[in-house]
C-alpha cells in the first residue's frame, strides 16, 4: 500500500490532475490518495500558499503528485524542493507521435540540481539595486552528478554531459565541473563531456541527438529544460520528477495557465507522463509502460488537445487513454 499525496493546485492543475487520476484508476494499484492544498487559491483562503498541513501530508506520503500553482508557484515549489531536499529535478525529453515536435526520435534527459544556485533565496537590496547570491556546494554538485551517472547506467545511456559557465563563474561552476569529472572517474564505461551553457543552448537545436544525459545547475537547468521541451512539442507534454532520498514530487513542467483554465482544453499529457515517472520511482515499471503505450496510441489516433493541433477536450483525451488501458 502506497500513500500518494495529491495537490491539484491552481488553474489547469486541477483539470490535468483529474485526468491523470482517472487514468490511474484504470490500473490495479495499491494507492491511497490524500488530497492537500497549495498555491494561489490556498493562499487566498488560508493566507499561506504552502500551509504546514500540506507539508505534513507530503512528508507522510510515499510520493506526491502536484498539478500547478499560479503566481505563488515559486513560493510553493521552490520551498518544497528545498524543505524536502528534493535535490534532483529529472526532466526527460522524448519525442511523442503527433505532438508537432521539431524533431522526432529524441530521447534524452536533463538532470537539474534542484536545491541551490540562485534559488537559495539570498537576495538583498543595496544602495541602487540588489544582489542575489548564487550558492554552489561540492556536496550538492557531487550528489547530482552521481545521480546523473547512475541514471545513465540504469537506463542504458552511454554519455553524460555537464553544462556550466566556468569561464565566467570560475569558482562556483569551476567546482561543479571539478566534481563532475571526479564522479565520472567511477563510471569508466560512460563518456563524460562538458559544455558551456550558451553553447548547449545552441546545440540543443543544432544537434540534440548527440545528448543522452545532461546534468547541470539549477537555473541553467530551468532554462535548458524549457528549451528542450519546445523541441518535442512544448510544455503541454513535458513531465518532471523532483526526487530526494526520502520524498518525490511529480509535476508537469507547465504552470497553471490561467488563460485556458476552466475550459477543459488543457493538455493532460505532461501530468500523465509525470505519473509514469512516479510509477517508475515506486518500481511499478509495468504500469508506467502501460500508460505510456496507451498515451501513444491515443495520440496516434489524433485524440489530442488543441495546443498540439487536436480538437478534443482534456476529459476526452483522459477517457481515451483509460479505454486503451483496458483494451490491452
Q: Does 80 bind ligand IPM (CB under 6 A)?
A: no
Can 52 be counted among the known catalytic residues? no
Q: How far is the CB of 275 from ligand IPM (least distance, A)?
A: 17
Q: Does 268 bind a second copy (CB under 8 A)?
A: no
The catalytically annotated residue of 14, 146, 165, 304 is 165
Stretch of 5-13, 71-79, 187-195, 308-316 contacting ligand IPM, by CB under 6 A: 71-79
Q: How far apart are CA 177 and CA 174, in angstroms?
A: 5
Terminal Cα-to-Cα distance of the chain (whole angstroms): 24
Residue 164: in which H helix or E strand, if any?
Answer: strand 159-164
Q: Does 77 bind ligand IPM (CB under 6 A)?
A: yes
Provide the CA 302 distance to its chain's centre, in angstroms. Answer: 25
Give the three-state DSSP class for 78.
Answer: helix
Q: Does 95 bind a second copy (CB under 8 A)?
A: no
Which entry of a second copy, ligand IPM, none binds 223, CB below 5 to 8 A by partner kind?
a second copy
Q: Which residues does residue 243 pair with via DSSP β-bridges, in sequence order?
A: 88, 248
Q: How far apart are CA 112 and CA 130, in angstroms?
A: 26
- Name which of 100 and 153 has its Cβ closer to a second copy: 100
Q: Does 277 bind ligand IPM (CB under 6 A)?
A: no
Sequence-distant (6+) residues with CB within 8 A of 55 are: 80, 83
Q: How far is the CB of 50 from ligand IPM (least distance, A)?
A: 13
Stretch of 74-82, 122-130, 288-296, 297-305 contacting ligand IPM, by CB under 6 A: 74-82
How many residues of this chain interact with a second copy, rule: CB under 8 A?
56
Would you call 159 exposed, middle or buried from its count of C-beta atoms within 10 A (0-12, 13-18, 19+)? middle
Q: How far apart are CA 76 and CA 10, in angstroms?
A: 12
Task: Output the CA angle 304-308-313, nearest 5 degrees.
Answer: 35
How many residues of this chain interact with ligand IPM, rule: CB under 6 A?
9
Among 44, 45, 59, 74, binds ligand IPM (CB under 6 A): 74
Among 44, 56, 198, 210, binds ligand IPM (CB under 6 A): 198
**Strands 248-252 vs 63-68: parallel, antiparallel or unpaired:** parallel
Stretch of 122-130, 149-157, 181-189, 257-265 contacting a second copy, by CB under 8 A: 122-130
Closest CA to 161 of 199, 106, 135: 199
- Name which of 69 and 249 has its Cβ closer to a second copy: 69
- Name which of 206 and 283 has its Cβ closer to a second copy: 206
Q: Does 202 bind ligand IPM (CB under 6 A)?
A: no
The answer to whether residues 3 and 9 touch, using CB atoms and an 8 Å cutoff, is: no
Can 226 be counted among the known catalytic residues? yes
Residue 111: in which H helix or E strand, if any?
Answer: strand 107-113
The catalytically annotated residue of 170, 181, 198, 311 is 198
Closest CA to 98 of 236, 289, 296: 296
Q: Does 261 bind a second copy (CB under 8 A)?
A: no
Q: Does 134 bind a second copy (CB under 8 A)?
A: yes
Please give the grid coordinates belonging to residue 83.
524543505
The binding site for ligand IPM (CB under 6 A) comprises 73-74, 77-78, 167-168, 198, 222, 253
Residues acting as catalytic residues: 119, 165, 198, 222, 226
Amino acid at each position: 500500500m502506497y500513500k500518494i499525496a495529491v495537490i491539484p493546485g491552481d488553474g489547469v492543475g486541477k483539470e490535468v490532475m483529474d485526468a491523470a487520476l482517472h487514468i490511474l484508476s484504470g490500473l490495479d494499484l495499491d494507492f491511497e490518495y490524500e488530497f492537500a492544498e497549495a498555491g494561489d487559491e490556498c493562499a487566498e483562503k488560508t493566507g499561506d500558499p504552502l500551509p504546514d498541513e500540506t507539508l505534513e501530508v507530503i512528508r507522510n506520503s510515499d510520493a506526491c503528485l502536484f498539478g500547478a500553482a499560479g503566481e505563488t508557484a515559486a513560493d510553493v515549489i521552490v520551498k518544497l524542493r528545498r524543505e524536502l531536499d528534493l535535490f534532483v529535478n529529472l526532466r526527460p525529453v522524448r519525442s511523442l507521435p503527433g505532438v508537432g515536435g521539431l524533431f522526432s526520435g529524441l530521447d534524452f534527459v536533463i538532470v537539474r540540481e534542484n536545491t541551490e544556485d540562485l534559488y537559495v533565496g539570498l537576495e538583498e537590496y543595496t544602495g541602487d539595486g540588489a544582489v542575489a547570491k548564487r550558492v554552489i556546494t561540492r556536496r550538492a554538485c557531487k550528489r547530482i552528478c552521481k545521480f546523473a551517472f547512475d541514471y545513465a547506467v540504469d537506463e542504458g545511456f552511454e554519455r553524460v554531459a555537464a553544462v556550466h559557465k566556468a569561464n565566467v563563474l570560475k569558482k562556483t561552476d569551476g567546482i561543479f565541473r571539478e566534481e563532475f569529472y571526479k564522479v565520472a572517474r567511477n563510471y569508466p564505461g560512460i563518456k563524460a563531456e562538458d559544455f558551456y551553457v550558451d553553447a548547449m543552448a545552441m546545440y540543443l537545436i543544432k544537434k540534440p541527438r548527440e545528448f543522452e544525459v545532461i546534468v547541470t545547475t539549477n537555473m541553467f537547468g530551468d532554462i535548458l529544460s524549457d528549451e528542450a521541451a519546445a523541441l518535442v512539442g512544448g510544455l503541454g507534454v513535458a513531465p518532471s520528477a523532483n526526487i530526494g532520498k526520502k520524498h518525490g514530487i511529480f509535476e508537469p513542467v507547465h504552470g497553471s495557465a490561467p488563460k485556458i483554465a476552466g475550459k477543459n482544453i488543457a493538455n493532460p499529457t505532461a501530468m500523465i507522463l509525470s505519473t509514469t515517472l512516479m510509477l517508475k520511482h515506486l518500481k511499478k515499471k509495468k504500469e508506467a509502460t502501460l500508460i505510456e503505450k496507451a498515451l501513444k496510441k491515443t495520440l496516434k489516433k489524433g485524440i489530442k488537445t488543441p495546443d498540439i493541433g487536436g480538437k478534443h477536450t482534456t476529459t476526452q483525451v483522459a477517457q481515451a487513454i483509460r479505454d486503451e488501458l483496458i483494451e490491452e
